[in-house]
Amino acid sequence: EAGVVQSPRYKIIEKKQPVAFWCNPISGHNTLYWYRQNLGQGPELLIRYENEEAVDDSQLPKDRFSAERLKGVDSTLKIQPAELGDSAVYLCASSSRLGEAFFGQGTRLTVV
Amino acid sequence: DQQVKQNSPSLSVQEGRISILNCDYTNSMFDYFLWYKKYPAEGPTFLISISSIKDKNEDGRFTVFLNKSAKHLSLHIVPSQPGDSAVYFCAASGGGSEKLVFGKGTKLTVNP
């Protein structure tokens, strides 16, 4: 069974440019998460989806970040415009209703 | 305000010995606790979990202990192997939310 797939693995952009990350969760997992991990820190939740509905986006900086999960499967996370402080690893995870979360390999974003 | 704390940034043990990683939490609503292991350039991998109705859960070389009165949990690895060298994250959820709150991680080094 394939795990959580994220792309790209690495992205380097100039500040003020837009960037998008893509996530394909494990088949059958209704819950999808986007986390951000800064250097030396644990992952922090940005947004959580139950199927196609965003049920927890309190930590998402909505002035520049947006996310969508069309048809309750794949998801994209977008930043526009990117700032230097957005440099981090962006992790996608998925889980079944009562299970532990499985993470993808992450996208390492560097904003220069 | 960090709700999940891992106060030891690093730990070094000899191969074959026991590794003990500690985690404290402040939110009494947490009722499900997990440990994740993370290798460089990879996403966190689920290791073991424990529900608040238990005080111990064992899986092979890994045992998690939960002390609810002290709001403390620990992960024991016996015997430790060089391949266990990684960053270990403690995470918690509860209060009706499936949101995982992570600690900052402890880097374990197992020396041959």
Q: How many CB atoms lie within 10 A of CB B29?
A: 13
CB contact under 8 A, B97 and A56: yes
Residue B100 touches partner A, C-beta closer than 8 Å:
yes
B61–chain A nearest CA distance, Å: 20
Q: What is the pLDDT of residues A21-64, one digit of tens each?
A: 999 999 999 999 999 999 999 999 999 999 999 988 888 999 99
A62–chain B nearest CA distance, Å: 19
The residues, any chain, with a CB within 8 Å of residue B23's CB and separated by 6 or more, are B4, B5, B6, B33, B72, B73, B74, B75, B90, B103
B37: closest chain A residue by CA = A103
Instruction: Output the tens digit of pLDDT for each of chain B's 112 residues.
Output: 689 999 999 999 999 999 999 999 999 999 999 999 999 989 999 999 999 999 999 999 999 999 999 999 999 999 999 999 999 999 999 877 778 899 999 999 999 9
